[in-house]
Structure 1
Amino acid sequence: MENLQISRCVLSILLTLFLVSSSWTFASSASPFIVAHKKATLTRLKSGVERVSVAVDIYNQGSVTAYDVSLTDDSWSNDVFDIVSGNTSMSWERLDTGALVSHAFELESKVQGLFYGAPAVIKFRVPTKAALQEAYSTPILPLDILADTPPEKKLELVRRLFAKYGSLISVISIVTLFIYLVATPSKSGAAKGSKKKR
């Protein structure tokens, strides 16, 4: 009888542990999964000034809504960049499952050099956890601000002309070469003619 009570007690403890662990696994898997992509493009306005357009796309690929979502992108130093439009930070009340939000801003730089931008930081709240959660965007490729452009533009123009008119230039060259060969007497024929005169 005593063995039966011990086995029931052990069985109930194991069942309780199983239920607690499965509910913990379910709670941990049921959460937002934030994926953020950051991109930056350069536009040369005039000599000595270049504009940087930054865009951050934030996706919630998880199975639960994220609340109090905030984006902060503090990698743009005030010594190098001036904000032209927008802000480097933004917040949203919620980001539903499968939803996408985007944020963009523009900066202007007058300093030449290679710039490495850090990933943007996304903070959000999960209803089951007290602390704010963090996610990071993808980093951007290094930006070569106000880089001296090599004289590739001239070569690019020549390449475009050949691509557009290459076949026409080839035909004209072949016809001109043919006319030149037909119109000019050959040296061997001129040498034979001079021998006959003697």
Structure 2
Amino acid sequence: MANPKIKSLLPFFLVLFFFVSASFAISDAPFMVAHKKVSLSRLKSGAEKVSVSIDIYNRGSATAYDVSLSDYSWAQDVFDLVSGNTSKSWERLDAGSMASHSFVLESQVKGVFYSAPAIIKFRIPSRAALQEAYSTPIQPLDILADRPPEKKFEWRLLAKYGSLVSVLSFVCLFVYLILTPSKSSAAKGSKKRR
């Protein structure tokens, strides 16, 4: 059973949490939310292409200045930068706006890789120190893993036999409709017999 003292303090903590969260919501400051997405695609040369995309949203009520993004969690001995850059900066990010950045890496090293969240630094005019925010983490990447082949829908079979299947379906439906008596004629026949 729960401790009675804890039960009596629970409403107090809920009210306190409500007022603290409400005060943060009312404050005039930027609130950064960053989402990091990664997709893998196998290349024929025995390498794997890693496409990284980071979206930054300012969900606060004020503008963030000197916004910089850095994602240095990609080891240089495992990944080669193909296009883009792992860091980016913006002069400002207005309240309610969004910024995106993407880059492409390539790896020829087989194994599981864990990436750290990207770091976003920004300045608020009312504070001297730079503020930090972190992106969402990603799932571990299994680079060059042995994957079972995907079963794809065979469009060429549909193109080859699709018309034949549809014609046979229509013929079978027509024969079924002709051979099955309708319920209205069966009802009329039973009334005449009475």
Structure-1-length-normalised TM-score? 0.64
Number of residue-to-residue matches in the alignment: 147
Among 33, 39, 42, the alignment partner of 2:37 is 39
Structure 1 residue 78 and structure 2 residue 76: aligned?
yes
- Comparing both structures, which one devotes a greater share of its residues to helix? 1
- The residue aligned with 2:61 is 63
SS in 1 for 2:43: strand
Of the two, which has the highest radius of gyration? Answer: 1
Structure-2-length-normalised TM-score? 0.66
Question: Where in structure 2 are there 5+ consecutive unaligned residues?
Answer: 1-22, 173-194
Residues 32-59 of structure 1 show CA distances to partners (whole Å, capped at 9, x for unaligned) of 0000000010111114211111010001
Question: Where in structure 1 are there 5+ consecutive unaligned residues?
Answer: 1-24, 176-198
C-alpha deviation, 1:80, in angstroms: 0.4
Amino acid at match of 1:119: P
- The residue aligned with 1:102 is 100
Residues 142-163 of structure 1 show CA distances to partners (whole Å, capped at 9, x for unaligned) of 211111122444xx468x969x
The separation in 2 between residues aligned to 1:78 and 1:146, in whole angstroms, is 17
The separation in 2 between residues aligned to 1:30 and 1:137, in whole angstroms, is 22
C-alpha deviation, 1:106, in angstroms: 0.4
* Structure 1 residues 57 and 152: CA distance shift in structure 2, 3 A: closer
The separation in 2 between residues aligned to 1:62 and 1:70, in whole angstroms, is 17
SS in 2 for 1:46: coil
SS in 1 for 2:82: strand
What is the correspondence of 1:113-152 to structure 2 with a 5 Å cutoff?
113-152=111-150
Residues 146-183 of structure 1 show CA distances to partners (whole Å, capped at 9, x for unaligned) of 11122444xx468x969x97995xx89xx9xxxxxxxx
- The residue aligned with 1:48 is 46
The separation in 2 between residues aligned to 1:91 and 1:129, in whole angstroms, is 19
C-alpha deviation, 1:104, in angstroms: 0.5
The separation in 2 between residues aligned to 1:104 and 1:151, in whole angstroms, is 28
The separation in 2 between residues aligned to 1:43 and 1:151, in whole angstroms, is 14
Amino acid at match of 1:121: I
Percent identity over paired residues:
68
